[in-house]
Amino acid sequence: MNATAELVLKPTSAPGSLWSWLVALPRDGSFRFSLKFGIAGMLAVFVALMSRSHEPTWALFTVFVLMVAQYIGAVEEKSILRIIGTVIGGLAGYLLTAAFEQDPLIYFSLLGLLVASATAMFGQSRYPYAFLLCAMTAVVVCSNGIAKPENSWIYMIWRIQEVVIGILSVLLVQSLLWPRYAADEFLIGLRELFRDLGDFFSSIRSDAPGNGLACDERLNQLRQLLRFGARESRYFRAKMETYVELLASVRRIHNAIRPMAGLRWKNPLFLEYAGGRISELHQVIESQFALLATSTAAAGSQQKGLDEISAAVGALKQSILDMRRDPRSGDVAVEDILGLSLESLSLEEIHQELVRCRDLLEGLPLKKKKTTALKLRLLMPGVPTPFWIKNGIRSAISLIAALVLMNWVQPPGGATMVLCAWLFCCLLPISPEGRGDLRAWHVVVVAIPCLFFLCLGLILAAPLLSSYAVMNIVIFTWLFVYGQVAYKTPGVTTLMNISMMGLVGIMGLNAQEPVSFQSIADVFFGVSTGTVIAALFQRTLWPLLPQREMRERFLELLRLQRTALASGGARPEDSLRLGLLPGEIQLRLANMVRPVYPDAEIPNLRALLDHLDRFTANRIWEFDPCEAGNARALTQKIRDCLSDILEKIETAFSSGHSCSVNVAPLQAAIAEFDEWILAVRLESMSLNADPLVTIQLLGRAARYQNAATHLMAAAEIAARLNPSLYSKDNAL
């Protein structure tokens, strides 16, 4: 989600000297964000220390989690939800600890129920951050107040005070220093998406056409920006349907381009009549993509470009009419006509979608312009998914285990251990690496030695850290580097979480009082033990694994394709989802443990995904049934066969059994369809039918042929897979 801004804000050319690099540096997006990150953190630390706060670490922790949002609207929403969640969680933690701490069974049961419910609700779409902060604050108050339950209210007050300090620091810095608005960056990213589409379109006539992955990645980034923009402004939310339709329209352009890849004109008659016209049409479409990719393109320029495309489309149609009058046209092979028809249909679809994009863009408000007055509605929270219900339960169990260990064994850094045990168990599975819980023990193996050397360095540097100047330099540098990583990362990775906990722990050593060995030991043992407890429950209780996530996304892809075939179309959000799922599956495939699977398993899964994606690109469900002859019955028969194959592959993934698909009915249906295509060709020649109508009709027929070819290839690959491996915890 952050790459869109990076592409715009970074220097456009490499600096030729140190001076030019220094001049360009303030315009670099990552430098600006890292600088803001450091300033916000230092401001929160300064205010917390000046107010003689008991726990300045909580203010710094607040800066970490709020600054990652990056956009004004997201920060404002998270700030409000953080306050609400903190107050509710603090009150709940205080009341539980003060009233039931002496009765462990009731205390742990009620606390576990509260944390499990709040964690599960974090996984639904409305006010998730408030639920997360409710659970976190309850954990903090209970873990710190369990030793003196009658004084647990103090920790509630301290927590609220520090959270407010962190929120105000972030809001001040984000509002005054280079504020970022998701609505503006969405339009910037959309222009970059048109540039990517132009590059993809330019590559289709090469020997190695691009696969459009850059477009898929950009679509995913813009989809996330929509979420942030909806949080920023009710005026943005008023145009949400337009934004979603824009992305769906762009996706349709991408799907229209993809079937054209590899088409070559070798027929002399086509080269004579249509070759030059098609080349001209390609050039004006490329120019229009380039125009849409610029921020200075005026409406008049866009209209001129669209008029040029219309003229080029008209010239292509005229060349087809002229070619039809040539006596040699009767000798052209059906395969060549289908190829020309396919490209003509795709180019016309691209033109139509470009016009639609222009109309949609003109309907958007200008930057920061208010459109209509909207009433805010308080919406009820949604229902969490089964994964989040399970994640809430196991996170609560991890928390209770850490609390029991803290209460009975009293290890160093007990409060930190409890927080880490719950936090890592809750959040690490959804890190953007796509690994889920698979690498939970790897995190332990990496984190503990790193923490050991960090704490050893703290022991050696304790005299220096007693200086505010040295400590502040350490904190600012750490924040700046963290900001560099956060700017380019769509989410918070495992190492970022551990780094955050490490810096927050170091902040607790700031020289309001002398730094002791015990304080450093508390940081090490607290984070290390919490990581071990979290990993134990992550890997043994309902683990989230790449192979299972991959399987679930394959099932979603197949279900959406079958639904589109059955209903004769896909909703805009479903079309967008069909475009995003391949990238999500690829991420999970990259994290599957290869020694567990046969050598060809993962390459076959990638090939299956590619054919299913190419099947989607033909979008045959968007074509109205043709009335010519028995075309309606034939196309319906093909759709039924395609749906049956998709259902068989889906059943194999869901049941874990091998896939057995009989493609003979589809082959027979395609053979009948080929005969109909030949009959249409002969009839159009004998009756002197409108060749433009025939071309459009045959272009759709070519789409059906392509879709069937890719799905038959997908069925062949699916038969070689072993779906039983995708539901097991093979790496445990």
Q: How far apart are CA 5 and CA 500, in angstroms?
A: 24
Which residues make Cβ contacts (< 8 Å) with residue 353, sequence separation at least 6? 249, 250, 252, 253, 256
Regions of the chain with pLDDT less than 50: 1-16, 366-374, 376, 511
In 3-state terms, what secondary structure has residue 630? Answer: coil
Which residues make Cβ contacts (< 8 Å) with residue 665, sequence separation at least 6? 641, 644
Q: How far apart are CA 143 and CA 96, in angstroms?
A: 12
Q: Residue with structure tokens 């339009």? A: 187
Among 192, 124, 149, CA closest to 382: 124
**Residue spans of alpha helices (H) in 624-690:** 631-655, 664-686
Helix (H) or strand (E) holding 599: none
Report the amino acid identity of residue 478: W
For residue 293, what are its two tokens? 């990719």
For residue 627, what are its two tokens? 């009335």
Which residues make Cβ contacts (< 8 Å) with residue 579, sequence separation at least 6? 216, 219, 251, 254
Q: How far apart are CA 447 and CA 50, in angstroms?
A: 33
CA 345 to chain centre: 31
pLDDT of the residue at 224: 72
Q: How far apart are CA 727 and CA 130, in angstroms?
A: 33
For residue 133, what are its two tokens? 């902060």
Which residues make Cβ contacts (< 8 Å) with residue 130, sequence separation at least 6? 81, 82, 84, 85, 88
Ordered by start, the domain boundaries in the chain are 3-10+27-181+383-540, 182-362, 546-727
At CA 59, angle to CA 57 and CA 61, rounded to 5?
70
Rounded to a whole number of angstroms, the CA Rg of the chain reads 30
First to last CA, the chain: 33
Q: How far apart are CA 2 and CA 430, in angstroms?
A: 18
Instruction: Report the 3 state secondary structure along 350-371.
Output: HHHHHHHHHHHHHCCCCCCCCC
> What does each C-alpha distance from 195 to 187, 293, 497, 534 come to in angstroms?
13, 5, 35, 44
At CA 306, angle to CA 353 and CA 269, rounded to 5?
85
φ and ψ of 731, to 5 deg: -95, -5
CA 92 to chain centre: 34
pLDDT of the residue at 641: 93
* Other beta carbons less than 10 A from residue 30's beta carbon: 18
For residue 110, what are its two tokens? 């009620």
> What does each C-alpha distance from 641 to 637, 663, 673 come to in angstroms?
6, 8, 13
For residue 544, what are its two tokens? 């989230």
> What does each C-alpha distance from 172 to 44, 79, 166, 221, 531 come to in angstroms?
11, 12, 10, 27, 34
Q: How far apart are CA 121 and CA 508, in angstroms?
A: 31
> What does each C-alpha distance from 85 to 91, 112, 423 come to in angstroms?
10, 17, 16
Strands (E) across 212-336 are located at: none
Angle between the N-to-C axes of helices 213-232 and 572-590, in degrees from 0 to 180, rounded to the nearest 10: 120
Per DSSP, the chain holds a count of helices (H) and strands (E) of 28, 0
Q: How far apart are CA 504 and CA 498, in angstroms?
A: 10
Q: Residue with structure tokens 């022991």? A: 459
Among 177, 333, 216, 116, CA closest to 577: 216
pLDDT of the residue at 716: 93
Strands (E) across 456-546 are located at: none
> What does each C-alpha distance from 332 to 266, 696, 706 come to in angstroms?
11, 17, 20
Among 436, 726, 720, CA closest to 555: 726
Task: Please state whether the predicted TM-score (pTM) of the whole model is above 0.85.
Answer: no
Among 662, 676, 674, 675, CA closest to 712: 662
> What does each C-alpha distance from 679 to 223, 375, 673, 684 come to in angstroms?
45, 59, 10, 8
Report the amino acid identity of residue 14: A
Q: Is the CB of residue 85 less than 8 Å from the CB of residue 191?
A: no
Strands (E) across 88-132 are located at: none
> What does each C-alpha distance from 288 to 219, 259, 279, 291, 338 come to in angstroms?
19, 20, 14, 5, 27
CA 492 to chain centre: 13
Q: Is the CB of residue 514 less than 8 Å from the CB of residue 26?
A: no
> Could you please report the per-residue DSSP string of 233-261?
-HHHHHTHHHHHHHHHHHHHHHHHHGGGT
In 3-state terms, what secondary structure has residue 533? Answer: helix
pLDDT of the residue at 2: 39
pLDDT of the residue at 701: 85
Q: How far apart are CA 483 and CA 565, in angstroms?
A: 46
Q: How far apart are CA 418 and CA 527, in angstroms?
A: 9
* Other beta carbons less than 10 A from residue 377's beta carbon: 6
For residue 140, what are its two tokens? 């903090």
Q: How far apart are CA 158 and CA 161, in angstroms?
A: 5
